[in-house]
Amino acid sequence: MGKKVWLNGGLVDRENAAISVFDHGVLYGDGVFEGIRFYERKVFKLDEHIDRLFNSAKIIMLDIPVSKEELKQAILLTCRESGLDNGYVRPVVTRGTGPLGLAPWKCSNPSVFIIADTIQLYPAEHYRNGMPIVTVPTRRNISEAVNPMIKSLNYLNNILAKIEAKTAGVEEALMLNQEGYVAECTGDNIFIIRKGVIYTPPVYAGALPGITMSTVAELAAGMGVNLIDKLFTRAEIYTADECFLTGTAAEVVPVISLDGRVIGDGKPGAITRKLVERFQEYARANGTPIG
Ligand code: PMP
């Protein structure tokens, strides 16, 4: 566990890493964040995550008070200082402190902090044997409300879905959009495989443009397997040959049932297993050295 947190320009002890109760990130969930893994002292897809963070900030008109390069160096420093070879790093930008009331223009100093730690989203056996999931009643936010493309501090939509999954006795929830099409899971993108082709919902269905998704698309292409964006319903997941989820924290995790319907033969499928393996190899071999 890292002993220091990077906060507004430098490293501070964890115990002293605090932001104000008047920060609008705390008061209103007004801010953006990223989750990034590092493997064997290399940060995976660092530039892609930084670009997405800046895009999220741009959409909510939040000026990040450091440059992309400064943020990159701060992330590498925080990882280095953590003493971990493998871990998860979380940059967060909040709107900053201001008076009560939503007005973001009254907040003058956005806060930036970076935590390096470890994360395990699902039990290890789910990676070997596959994971059951359920569809939950909470729908994914519509793009015209809080656009799911924004990785904002406003994760209550997904937290409600996660609670519903837990109440149903599983670890992850399938979220549909307002039209009933599959969007994504609470912290992961979803994929099905049918007749050797991989399908995933397009971003406009209510999915975050996943960086692990892009990696999996490249790995699949290298295996001669096509990945196609397509709208589909949960009935198409029940009848798929294979299903899996991707995310930075989740990595690639096989799904073996949805709402009690067994997918394929109820074991992680052949293409999924290959992707799990190739992803692990690729992630360990590529990335920005933490120095
Ligand atoms: N969807 C949601 C809602 C997420 O929060 C995340 C990751 N945190 C993902 C999908 C997966 O994105 P990535 O592969 O870039 O981590």
How would residue 65 be classed by pLDDT, with cut points 50, 70 and 90?
very high
Evaluate: CB of 248 within 6 angstroms of ligand 1.
yes
Residue 259 structure tokens: 């709402």
Span from the CA of 18 to the centroid of ligand 1 (angstroms)? 26
User: Quick one: pLDDT at residue 3?
Assistant: 75
Closest residue by Cα to atom 4, ligand 1, is: 187
Amino acid at 177: N
Ligand 1: nearest atom to the Cα of 214: 14
pLDDT at 128: 95
Pocket test for ligand 1, best of 89, 146, 172, 188 (most atoms within 8 A of CB): 188
Q: Name the DSSP letter for residue 141.
A: P
* Separation CA 194–CA 179 (nearest Å): 23
Classify burial at 251, counting beta carbons within 10 Å of its beta carbon; exposed 0-12, middle 13-18, buried 19 or more: buried
Per residue in 4-26, pLDDT (tens digit) is 999 999 999 999 999 999 999 99
Residue 1 has pLDDT above 80, yes or no: no
Three-class SS state of 221? helix
The 3-state DSSP class for residue 55 equals helix
- What are the tokens at 156? 């209550």
Atom 9 of ligand 1, nearest CA residue = 188
Instruction: State the distance from the centre of ligand 1 to the C-alpha of 28, rounded, in angstroms.
Output: 21
69-120 tens-digit pLDDT: 999 999 999 999 999 999 999 999 999 999 999 999 999 899 999 999 999 9
175-190 exposure pattern, b = at least 16 Cβ within 10 A, e = fewer: bbbeeebbbbbbbbbb
Residue with tokens 């530039």: 47
Residue 250 Cα to ligand 1 midpoint, Å, equals 9
d(CA 184, CA 205): 9
Give the chain's domains with CATH numbers. Answer: 4-117 (3.30.470.10), 124-285 (3.20.10.10)
Residue pair 256/127 in contact by the 8 Å Cβ criterion = no
**Cα 83 to Cα 21, 39, 42, 111, 132, distances in angstroms:** 30, 12, 13, 24, 35
Token readout for 55 is 């895009």
